[in-house]
Amino acid sequence: MRMQAILSLLASTPYVRDYFNITHDVLNHLGSISPYHRARHYDASEIDSELPIDCTVDQVMLMHRHGSRGPIGEQRYIERLIQTLHNATDIIREVELPRELEFLRAGYNSSLTPHNLTILGRKELFDHGVELALKYPHLTTDVILSSDSGRVVESARWFALGFFGFDSDVRIVTVNNRDDPVSWITPAPGPACPNFDYSFGRQATLTWSKHYLPVVTDRLNMLLPGVGFTEDDIHGALFACAYDLASHGASPWCGVFQPDELANFEYERDILMDASCAYTLPHNMAPLVGTVFVNKLIERFTDSKGDSRPLYLEFGHDVTILLALSALGLAKDDPPLSPDTLRPGRKFRTSELTPFAASMVWEKFTCTSSYNGPQIRLILNDATMPLTICGRGMDPVLGTCSLDTFVNANHYSTSIRFRDKTWNATCGV
């Protein structure tokens, strides 16, 4: 009776009906642990992806997330699931399995390697290197900058192989080998901002998971009576879906979940990242820390120090990109996301913003007649992201704006300096 009441309630919920009325694609509902796929940005439906023929890209700044990896903290949920299934081996052999769970007859085991870049992750980076080289054949560099994380450095190497080929002279330098007091690649958490705390994200997911995990747990226990799935097991199955895809390109678990259940999991991943390193992190901390990236972008594109390069290839994490977007006010929801209510029309979707191998490409371009002066454009995961921060100065056709307009629009970022009064008060330095 409890299950029937829950399903009846779900069927009457608008966001569930909406999800059943669209073509379902699991890659769009796994949040920031989704394998790479082209983005479909909320504000970009009318944006032209091609620059006018008289325009030339003069400078590019790439910030790239590492490729698909194995699980980290999520591994314990997957291992818990495997143990539950192992304990119920005799039950699974005897019970009549529904089609979507028939794979359990042969057992389920995980061969995932925690933390490490997967084979598909290497391919993502190699392919992106090839694609960027084809897109900007007139731009080059002799140095790549990377976070010192092993999977990020390896990602940079696979990208370099695709971009430069064998026997190139490009150097891969990590942030540890630089003298910058704070890095725009890995600015937080740490000594730069001691108050930066990921636990807000974890608390948000705990709140939201209470809304949907009991429902899914009940449903699977009805399909497989006697196995005794717990909510942790269901979490493990959801993570197995995502990380099997990231490692092998397919997962039997993805077909087990209904569209509304994956929609709830997606929202869990979104509020995790939003509260960890974006808009619902308290005290405006994410936009503040993100100013380090925005100021570096402006410094390079305006050549304010007289040493700008035509091409920057840099590699970091999903946090790197989300902090930058937060400082720019892009993909921002009003009102903010809440762990109490799912927001189906939200802009902040990490499967679109920061999947594995996310690629944030900033272009500075000039034109002979279409525009006066240098212009700026953001291409996030192969789709133009409109620079709404420019307000009425944004070109409604291309989603771009002039460099001058962009600099003026980012007066908050340009007013912040590392360890100034505002920084220290917010970060507790």
**Separation between Cα atoms, residue 63 and residue 278, nearest integer Å:** 17
- Looking at residue 392, its amino acid is R
| Given the residues 244, 270, 274, 318, the one annotated as active site | 318
**Separation between Cα atoms, residue 297 and residue 426, nearest integer Å:** 23
Question: Which letter, b or e, does each residue of 142-162 get, where b requires 16 or more Cβ atoms within 10 Å of its Cβ?
Answer: eebbbbebebbbbbbbbbbbb
Closest-CA residue to 352 (of 323, 336, 334, 331):
331
CB-neighbour burial class of residue 366 (10 A; exposed 0-12, middle 13-18, buried 19+): middle
DSSP 179: -
Cβ–Cβ under 8 Å, residues 159 and 125: yes
- Looking at residue 50, its amino acid is E
CB-neighbour burial class of residue 37 (10 A; exposed 0-12, middle 13-18, buried 19+): middle
Q: Return the SS3 of 197.
A: coil
Per-residue HEC secondary structure of 257-268 comes to CCHHHHHHHHHH
Both structure tokens of 318? 């999903």
User: Is 318 a residue of the active site?
Assistant: yes
Both structure tokens of 127? 């392919």
Q: How far is CA 257 from the centre of its chain?
A: 22
User: Is 64 a residue of the active site?
Assistant: no
Cβ–Cβ under 8 Å, residues 380 and 358: yes
**Separation between Cα atoms, residue 244 and residue 252, nearest integer Å:** 9
Give me the sign of the Cα torsion angle 368, 370, 371, 376: negative
How many angstroms separate the Cα of 17 from the Cα of each of 258, 260, 274, 421? 12, 8, 25, 49
Helix, strand, coil distribution of the chain in percent, nearest 5: 50, 10, 40
| Given the residues 66, 128, 235, 317, the one annotated as active site | 66
**Separation between Cα atoms, residue 75 and residue 71, nearest integer Å:** 5
Both structure tokens of 224? 């497989």
Catalytically annotated residues? 66, 318
